[in-house]
Amino acid sequence: MENMGENLKRLMDRNQLNKRYQELMKQVKSDPDVQRFIAENRDTLTEESIQRSSSKLYEFVQEKKKFQEKKGMMAPGYRPELMLNQNKIDITYIPTPEFVARQKENQIRNRIQSIAMPKNIQEVTLADVDITEDRHVVMDKVFAFIENYLEAPKKFHKGLYLEGPFGVGKTYLLGAVAHELAENGFSTTLVHFPTFAVEMKQSIGDNTTGEKINAIKSAPILMLDDIGADSMSSWIRDDVLGVILQHRMQEALPTFFSSNFSMKQLEEEHLTISQRGEDEPLKAKRIMERIRFLAEEVSMDGKNRRHSG
Ligand code: ADP
Ligand code: MG
């Protein structure tokens, strides 16, 4: 008697399970993607092979649901799709176009190193830069640089020294150039020079000065932003900036600058007078020679674009 009861119970459980299974399979087979897939592969798939693949079909419907709800996916950014694998139904995971685009954008961003630059500088592209009438000269030079560089990245190409008042878009343009180069696989380092100079002074304490200078001086493409915005000590001028520029000249590495000063002003008003108030015109001249070798001066005028909406 007892045995009978157990058997009956097992049988009933199996019936329950069967019923549940049938319901699930009904759901799975009513899925439009499953239906379409079966219809498209009528020639290959028999009723039996579909039956045998039911767990795959079930998995597909589950993963598709997770994908649509964007929750709990095995591989986020990948969309499940049914496929035939030696006449059997299988699932393949295909990266979504958004995922591919995001990955690409991340790769691009990773090619733009920045020190103390505005947060969104890695996102500015040349397409974002509106080219007004007064921008033709500078944009011609920008495009020429990019074209020449991409054509022969190992050769020396003179960078640009963007000179102009506060807010005209110098930093923004440097960011856009870096982005364009990054899209083509080249790495740029963007440095807000005044902040970098302060960091260098602090680095004397922890002995990292040499290592920091080395990282900057050998960047494949270097952009020194806002040079001359703060007064420079002789040490920063000669042993930091001077060393960086000397190395870049020797190694023929493209270098850009942006400044509120023209080259002439930078030399006479900024680099000549040391923080202690001494006149050091020869040292200023040496630095300027290197800057002039590395970059061509272009002036950028126009309205202040900050907070103008
Ligand atoms: P600068 O470095 O010359 O002081 P920025 O590059 O910081 O000026 O530009 C100031 C602001 O103006 C930026 O935050 C940016 O949003 C905007 N801007 C600059 N140039 C452009 C441009 N060509 N097109 C659109 N917006 C710009
Ligand atoms: Mg700026």
What digits encode the pLDDT tens for the residues 118-146?
Answer: 988 989 999 998 888 778 899 999 999 99
Q: Is 134 in the pocket of ligand 1 (CB under 6 A)?
A: no
- pLDDT value, residue 75: 77
- pLDDT value, residue 179: 96
Distance (Å) from CA 127 to ligand 1 centroid: 13
pLDDT band at 19 (very low <50, low <70, confident <90, very high): confident
Task: Tally the C-alpha atoms within 13 A of residue 186's C-alpha that lie toward its C-beta.
Answer: 21
Tell me the pLDDT of the chain averaged across its residues.
90
Ligand 1 atom 23: the closest Cα is on which residue? 129
Over residues 140-183, the pLDDT tens digits come to 999 999 999 999 999 999 999 999 999 999 999 999 999 999 99
Q: Is 188 in the pocket of ligand 1 (CB under 6 A)?
A: no
258 pLDDT more than 80:
yes
Q: Is 57 in the pocket of ligand 1 (CB under 6 A)?
A: no
Q: Is 172 in the pocket of ligand 1 (CB under 6 A)?
A: yes
Evaluate whether 234 touches 283 at the Cβ level (below 8 Å): yes
Percent of the chain predicted with pLDDT > 90: 64
Distance (Å) from CA 229 to ligand 2 centroid: 10
Q: Is 303 in the pocket of ligand 1 (CB under 6 A)?
A: no
Mean of pLDDT values over 262-287: 85
Ligand 1 atom 21: the closest Cα is on which residue? 169
- pLDDT value, residue 3: 64
Distance (Å) from CA 302 to ligand 2 centroid: 14
Handedness of CA 292, 298, 301, 307 (dihedral sign): negative
Ligand 1 atom 27: the closest Cα is on which residue? 169
- pLDDT value, residue 37: 95
Nearest ligand 1 atom to alpha carbon 300: 3
* Residue 152 tokens, joined: 């022969």
Distance (Å) from CA 147 to ligand 1 centroid: 23
pLDDT band at 309 (very low <50, low <70, confident <90, very high): very low
Q: Which has more pLDDT, 61 or 24? A: 61
Please tell me the distance from the alpha carbon of residue 253 to that of residue 155, in angstroms, as a whole number. Answer: 8
> Of the bound ligands, which one is closest to the alpha carbon of residue 228?
2
- pLDDT value, residue 157: 97
